[in-house]
Amino acid sequence: MISQALHAETVEERIEGGPSRILASPIAPTEREEQRRLDLIRSKVALWDAEERQAGAPISPAVGALRPSDQIHVMGLDLKGRYIAHTLAGCQTIPPVRYILHKRHLYRQWDNAKKQLSLYRDDHVIIHRRVRAEYTSEEEEGRSSSGHVIHNLIVTLPAGQVVQALSHVRHRLDHRSTICLVNDGLGVAEALIEAYFPSKLRRPTFLLGHFTTSLGHTDSPFSVSEVRPGRLYLSLFSEQFSEHVGGRFRIKRHPPLERTEKPTHLLRLLTAMPGLNATGRSMADFLEHKLPTVAFRTIVDPLAALFDCTYDYLATDRYTKNLIDAFISELSQVVSRMPECRDSPRFRQPAVYSWLRDEVYHRLMRQRTADSKMRAQVSHGWETDLDFLSGYFVRRGRELQVNVATLLSFLAAVKAKRSVMLKKLAADVPFE
């Protein structure tokens, strides 16, 4: 239970091959303060429902006992997903974490891996078995009766795969759910709302996440290596595009924060989790940590894919650097006009341009001769995260009436190259 997790002063973690470690956990408010806060929420919910009845508006689904679930599901077999699921599995004060596997062969591999997650940290191997795998198939899509409601879902899949992946569990997500999106893209929550949750009354709450721990691969799909510790930055997704009026979008707040305890529940649950090193931030502060990564992937990765080169070429070529500067200029103009960034001095011109330029070139030089994942994806005709990188800033730029012609042209060029490669590969039929 969350109250138990917050009241616990220490949590002991046993490490195979090493001594026990004691990890500190925050102290919760008193039960009287907790009850006072819940009473305040109940009174406000009752007031809002009474106002909606008088106005003839539809009443939102029942809030219930206002006791959010501590059960957490994780979707994503990438390194971040394994690490987060492993950390959650090590906490004794919440139910065993549920790991969603959408392919049958992965479920068989889970059985062969002894149904456990392993973390390699320094010279130690930390094994956790408080994990329950759940297999979800395409046949279950649309069955509202199959499976229980998923109250807390952490998705670590690449941004371009999230909408399709959640179709497998769409029937288990509603107003009682909170979805935490941990990836390098922006605009994924908006895409999910448009695809699956058009009704505000049945819509889940969204948390955005940015993960900075450096991880490495191992020889097992259910283990991960910690290279350098980092943090999990979290922020409540509280602004969205709701109505299209006169060619422009109007920003509305979703949901009224006082109306539900769900977002703060999962946020507090994760920030109290020993070993996860999670922290909740305002949207502006959250973007200050996430934008350097997003900017790098928005600007540099499409260039590497289009020119079919490694990072070191982009860092030394004069003409390529001119393009990078043009991209940064447009991107910084968009960021400086975004409503969620206007109140932060960091995102005002010309400071935001200089800051993003320094960040992009610093990361580019650190990559040396490394290769871009997007380069391989485009050359094989695979899906990319472009719609949630360059595509996101093109959309926001148009809405904010910012010139994004350079970003748009390269977005179209990379998509065209992927389409051409896909047709070439399809035409390359062996005659054996």
Task: Give pLDDT, residue 26.
Answer: 39
- Check whether 10 has a pLDDT greater than 50: no
- Check whether 147 has a pLDDT greater than 70: no
Verify that 267 and 319 share a domain, yes or no: no
| 361, HSE (Cβ side, Cα atoms, 13 Å) | 16
| 209 in Cβ contact with 232 (< 8 Å) | yes
Verify that 246 and 298 share a domain, yes or no: no
User: Among the three residues 263, 281, 299, which one is the final residue of a domain in this structure?
Assistant: 281
Percent of the chain residues past pLDDT 90, beyond the cut: 64
- Check whether 314 has a pLDDT greater than 80: yes
Task: Give pLDDT, residue 91.
Answer: 93
Q: CATH number of the domain at 361, please.
A: 1.10.1040.10
Number of domains in the chain: 2
* Residue 59 DSSP label: P
* Dihedral angle, C-alpha 410, 245, 163, 207, nearest 10 °: 100
- In which domain, by residue range, is 30 found? 2-281
Q: Which residues pair with 225 in a beta bridge?
A: 120, 216
| 88, HSE (Cβ side, Cα atoms, 13 Å) | 27
| 397 in Cβ contact with 404 (< 8 Å) | yes
- Check whether 403 has a pLDDT greater than 50: yes
| 221 in Cβ contact with 109 (< 8 Å) | yes
Q: Which pair of structure tokens corresponds to residue 196?
A: 């699956």
User: Among the three residues 281, 314, 335, which one is the final residue of a domain in this structure?
Assistant: 281
pLDDT-wise least confident of 61-65, 138-142, 338-342? 61-65
Task: Give pLDDT, residue 103.
Answer: 81
Q: What is the reported pTM?
A: 0.80
Verify that 119 and 210 share a domain, yes or no: yes
Verify that 165 and 23 share a domain, yes or no: yes
* 207 assigned to some structural domain: yes
* 432 assigned to some structural domain: no
Verify that 291 and 265 share a domain, yes or no: no
Verify that 206 and 353 share a domain, yes or no: no
Task: Give pLDDT, residue 406.
Answer: 95
Please provide the average confidence, as pLDDT, over all residues in the chain. Answer: 82
Verify that 350 and 370 share a domain, yes or no: yes
Q: Which residues pair with 214 in a beta bridge?
A: 228
Task: Give pLDDT, residue 330.
Answer: 97
To which H or E segment does residue 268 belong? helix 262-271
Q: Which residues pair with 181 in a beta bridge?
A: 155, 208
Task: Give pLDDT, residue 57.
Answer: 44
Q: Which residue in the block uniquely carries the two structure tokens 């138990």?
A: 4
User: Among the three residues 259, 281, 303, which one is the final residue of a domain in this structure?
Assistant: 281
- Check whether 337 has a pLDDT greater than 60: yes
Verify that 131 and 59 share a domain, yes or no: yes
Where helices occur in 68-222 by DSSP H, the ranges are: 79-89, 104-112, 159-165, 188-196
Task: Give pLDDT, residue 55.
Answer: 46
Q: Identify residue 237 by its one-letter amino acid code.
A: F
Q: Which range is most confident: 53-57, 235-239, 243-247, 285-289?
A: 285-289
Mean pLDDT, residues 299-327 taken together: 94
Q: Which pair of structure tokens corresponds to residue 188?
A: 């994924």
- Check whether 52 has a pLDDT greater than 50: no
Q: CATH number of the domain at 118, please.
A: 3.40.50.720
